[in-house]
Amino acid sequence: MTLKTIQWLDNAVLIVDQTLLPAELAYERIETIESMRDAIKRLKIRGAPAIGIAAAFGLYLGARVLPDGHGNEVFLSALHNMADYLASSRPTAVNLVRALDRLTGKAAALTAGSVPIARIKERLLEESLLILEEDRRMCRSIGEHGFALLKGKKTVLTHCNAGGLATSEYGTALAPIYVAFERGRVIRVFADETRPLLQGARITAFELRSAGIPVTLICDNMAAAVMAQGKIDAVVVGADRIAANGDTANKIGTYGLAIVARAHGVPFYVAAPTSTFDPACASGKEIPIEEREEAEITDGFGRRTAPEGIEVYNPAFDVTPARYITAFITDQGVIDPPYPDKLRALFGQA
């Protein structure tokens, strides 16, 4: 990967503005919490791990302008308010809330120890940078474990974008593809376009072509036909939240893809770091599903494609039941079913 999704550079956050892809590769400099929330909400930065990192940096950007002399309790209260403000940007991805909880927890511990506010701010930045580096290591590890699992596979179908542009580097679902490419083994990727915002067409296809990896773009409704033709050896997708029983929330359309894969005997893998697992969520029924603006469907990319006044339902995610998932590819290794006991062990280890 040569593209850096998110960086801390010259006392600000630098992100790739993914709303402009593939027509333009442009970077946006973010210096305020308001700009960071807007970037997350508007999908300038997206992907569960990436928005977790972005939220952490966003909280620091908000904290650094708070006065140092108003007392630690006042500072901590303001920090929690800012965390709630950022958390409201996108409710489904657990990485976002987990990163914010991690920083507010760190600040609370330091406040209890009477650490000066100026030092607490420094520690928040250090923690954000640590989250960035941890994600990079986890994605690389996912790539290594997935590379071994996909031995002998020549083609992979993926949905949405779970590549380097959805994380700090390497990605989750695409990490095994990048590791294979580094080692001289080419795995061709079939990329669903991923309606309605076309993350597969705009982002997955863009980053794979930029890396020199062969990629074939298909419409979402072609996946079943392509599998029936024997063109797909495995499906690998990312995740935004994984419940304690293995039910997995990912971009809308993933559930249908899992059913189609089962019907055609194609293994269906979910690649995700341990930060995407939510042991507090018993099943997929408890995962909040974000609903987005009607215009994403009726006026996609600035052109009206539906009648005026039409009723629209636009959930951004769906939940794939654990029974359709062949295995999870994590930074801690590959997890096969049955999932509940194994995931409990993973949570303890993580």
Catalytic residues: 240
- Residues with Cβ < 8 Å from 82, sequence gap 6 or more? 33, 59, 62, 63
Q: Is the dihedral of CA 59, 60, 63, 65 positive or negative?
A: negative
Q: Which of 114, 106, 110, 62 minimizes the C-alpha distance to 84? A: 62
- Residues with Cβ < 8 Å from 315, sequence gap 6 or more? 252, 289, 290, 291, 292
Q: What is the DSSP letter of 49?
A: H
Phi, psi of 12 (to 5 degrees): -150, 170
Q: What is the DSSP letter of 243?
A: E
- Residues with Cβ < 8 Å from 146, sequence gap 6 or more? 175, 176, 179, 236, 269, 271, 329, 334
Burial profile 80-105: b = 16 or more Cβ within 10 angstroms, e = fewer:
eebbebbbebbbbbbbbbbbbebbbe
Burial profile 297-325: b = 16 or more Cβ within 10 angstroms, e = fewer:
bbeeeeeeeeeeeeeeeeebbbbbbbebb
What tokens were used for 269?
A: 């893998």
Rounded Cα distance between 15 and 17, Å, is 6
Within the chain, how many helices (H) and strands (E) appear?
Answer: 12, 14
Q: What is the DSSP letter of 256?
A: H
Pairing of strands 12-16, 6-9: antiparallel
